[in-house]
Amino acid sequence: MNPLLSPFDTAPFSQIKNEHFKPAFLQSIEDARAEIDAITNNTEAPTFENTVEALEFSGHQLDRISSVFFNLNSAETNEEIQKIAQEISPLLSEFSNDITLNENLFKRVKAVYDQKDDLDLTVEQNTLLDKKYKSFSRNGANLSEDKKKRLREIDAKLAKLNLTFGENVLAETNKFQLHLTDEADLDGLPEGEKEAAAQLAISKGKEDGWMITLDYPSYIPFMKYAKNRELRKKLSLAFGSKAFHNDELDNQENVLKIAKLRFERAKLLGYKTHANFVLEERMAETPEKVHSFLNELLEKAKPAAEREFKQLEDFAKKLDHIDRLEKWDSSYYSEKLKQELFNLDDEKLKPYFKLENVINGVFKVAENLFDLQFEEVHDIEKYHEEVKTYKVYDIDKNFISLFYADFHPRAGKRGGAWMTSYKSQWKRNDENVRPHISNVCNFTPSTKSKPSLLTFNEVTTLFHEFGHGLHGMLANTTYPSLSGTSVFWDFVELPSQVLENWCYEKEALELFAKHYETGETIPMELVKKIKESATFQEGMQTLRQLSFGLLDMSWHGIDPTSITNVKAHEEEAFKGTNLYPATPETCMSTAFSHIFQGGYSSGYYSYKWAEVLDADAFAYFKEKGIFNKEVATKFKNNVLSQGGTENPMILYKRFRGAEPKVEALLERAGLL
């Protein structure tokens, strides 16, 4: 019996074998196809219920299987799963096209759409109808047969290319290992980091020495603390040249193919560029508005960034007679300068941020704001022993969500941090089906002598992903495709980024920042320094984020057909934001998974846009009190629970009473 083909609530991880996936996909695609046929062949006149709603709830089992499979492919993959993904992705792409290019189905949806003003629909029903209609019109329903055929070909190719891109980045990350046997090479590294490196060496089959890899918990401390400049350079160039080696894992050709196919697809659908196509369904609306937004911030941030860079250069010269500051010097001297200016470094802070305490802290913040309670449970199946599982309840003990938490790096797990879902929330037949949400991160693991102690950056990352998690957990909509994080991409980062603000507040830190050995609450002096250092090098950080947004738009906001050299194109895009000397050996585009594998193509600017939203939103909390129930309830009722049921600006204004102001971000960042 294939466990994926039986109805399941929680994912039955222990019963699933790799050989179950492909048959389950093939069967569930056929079942979903039969549901689509039933809608299309219905002899009754098209109505919202028998066409739009029926379409929304079709393919449920396929959705559940897809979520299990592709989440595993990100968090616990292997060569066999990757091979299945390469076989399955084109089939799913083809099935998706079979729906959006189904002429008779489109006719039924259009018939409902054309009479929507007379149907007395709710706001959410109107949004769903609009979304379903656009899913056809924006994906080729109005094309001629030959153009529909070409669209199918493009989508199948893109599905495979996106996967290959991600597999190459993961393989490159796993491939690099810096095995050190001379302890002098670790000079500057704190004892805890040395111990972690020694433990990592053993786990990689080396009986002696220390191992440094390109996984963040290993890479970042070395770049921040190691005195050996040549080794920092070696590591930096390895990190910056992932999938840029002219070998079998090279992504240059994949980048060019993806950009050009996306452009061809957009043109086929009647759009000027891929960015024009994407941004039609974003708060920003057009590439021109994105460029205007990025350039406005660039104008404000660049002078500050140049001043900060000059300060860092002068500091490195004074300290170590460094004549030319390079990229591999950035973290090292920034950390030293930060210590000098604020007498603050991660080693002073980490003892107060034991992972379990930070988890309890973010739960406590959620309890104080939204009346949620988290209960760890041990009877839910997990895909890896490190995963923790929780049941989430409201103040009246109503079940709200299941929550999976997976925090440490592994060979089968891609880098970075993300939130995902194993089951959406929706309402049907008087039942409110609750979601299953997951946070996946790559934090510093525990060692023999110390528990997992987080850097402050890891603390903010945990809060960030948990903000996304709350958006999923507190969803309270009728339709799954409008639920939780199913919102415009430049709105999706608001819940995550706004929650980071609590990490800087005394009232919140006192809930969880306790010394892992003594239990002492973080001293006020350190809290003050965290606050003071919050805008340290903010100009440089802003310039870096803007450079990524501009690179994204340079690939997707133009006709890329004449681009032949990935590196040269990237250098041109970065021209206005460069501070450090160029490194010919490195290339960001070949490992820029957000835009070439994830969903952020033409959308990377949204991190900065969401900072405007979150700075403006948190200013409201600050004004009323960071745990003010009235403001928190407004945020829950108008943002977190509403998903994509209405235009995000309407939802935001309902919460805040006005549109967000860019000045809130500039003021917080000290750039005004």
Asked whether the predicted pLDDT for residue 345 surpasses 90, the reply is no
Q: What percent of the chain has pLDDT over 90?
A: 94
Asked whether the predicted pLDDT for residue 5 surpasses 90, the reply is yes
Q: 494 or 415: whose pLDDT is higher?
A: 494
326-352: string of b/e by CB count within 10 Å (b at 16+)?
ebbbbbbbbbbbbeeebebbbbebbbb
Contact (CB, 8 A) for 433 and 426: yes
* Spatial separation of the C-alpha atoms in residues 225 and 533, rounded to whole Å: 18
Contact (CB, 8 A) for 214 and 239: yes
Of 432, 465, 484, the residue nearest 642 (C-alpha): 484
Is residue 466 classed as helix, strand or coil in its secondary structure? helix
pLDDT bracket for residue 489 (50, 70, 90): confident
Is residue 521 classed as helix, strand or coil in its secondary structure? strand
Of 625, 623, 616, 632, the residue nearest 666 (C-alpha): 616
Record the pTM.
0.88
Encoded tokens for 574: 């970065």
Q: 414 or 559: whose pLDDT is higher?
A: 559
Q: What percent of the chain has pLDDT over 70?
A: 100
Q: Looking at the domain 3-142, which fold is it?
A: Glutathione S-transferase Yfyf (Class Pi); Chain A, domain 2 (1.20.1050)
**What number of other Cβ atoms are within 10 A of residue 468's Cβ?**
25
Compute the average pLDDT of residues 631-653. Answer: 97
Residue found under tokens 């008087």: 430
Asked whether the predicted pLDDT for residue 346 surpasses 90, the reply is no
Asked whether the predicted pLDDT for residue 626 surpasses 90, the reply is yes
DSSP classification of residue 482: G
pLDDT at position 490: 85
Asked whether the predicted pLDDT for residue 327 surpasses 90, the reply is yes
Asked whether the predicted pLDDT for residue 671 surpasses 90, the reply is no
Asked whether the predicted pLDDT for residue 658 surpasses 90, the reply is yes
Contact (CB, 8 A) for 276 and 266: yes
Encoded tokens for 86: 């390469």
- Enumerate the H helices of 321-406 as residue ranges: 330-342, 346-349, 355-370
Compute the average pLDDT of residues 526-544. Answer: 94
Compute the average pLDDT of residues 326-354. Answer: 94
Compute the average pLDDT of residues 540-558. Answer: 97
pLDDT bracket for residue 347 (50, 70, 90): confident
| Segments making up each domain of the chain, as ranges | 3-142, 176-225, 351-521+607-669
- Find the length of the chain: 672
Strands across the sheet containing 388-393: 373-377, 388-393, 399-406, 436-440, 418-423
Q: 245 or 38: whose pLDDT is higher?
A: 38
DSSP classification of residue 50: I
Compute the average pLDDT of residues 68-92. Answer: 95
* Half-sphere exposure for 97 (CA within 13 Å, toward CB): 23
Compute the average pLDDT of residues 557-586. Answer: 97
pLDDT bracket for residue 17 (50, 70, 90): very high
In whole angstroms, how large is the CA radius of gyration of the chain? 25
Architecture of domain 351-521+607-669: Orthogonal Bundle (1.10)
pLDDT at position 557: 97
Distances (CA, A) of 192 to 343, 451, 520, 539: 20, 10, 20, 31
Q: What integer best gives the mean pLDDT of the chain?
A: 96
Compute the average pLDDT of residues 470-496. Answer: 96
Compute the average pLDDT of residues 496-517. Answer: 96
Asked whether the predicted pLDDT for residue 598 surpasses 90, the reply is no
Compute the average pLDDT of residues 659-666. Answer: 91
Reported as a single tens digit per residue, the pLDDT across 602-611 is 999 999 999 9
Compute the average pLDDT of residues 535-554. Answer: 97
Catalytic positions are 465
Asked whether the predicted pLDDT for residue 670 surpasses 90, the reply is no
pLDDT at position 195: 94
pLDDT bracket for residue 228 (50, 70, 90): very high
Per-state percent for the chain, helix, strand, coil, to nearest 5: 60, 5, 30
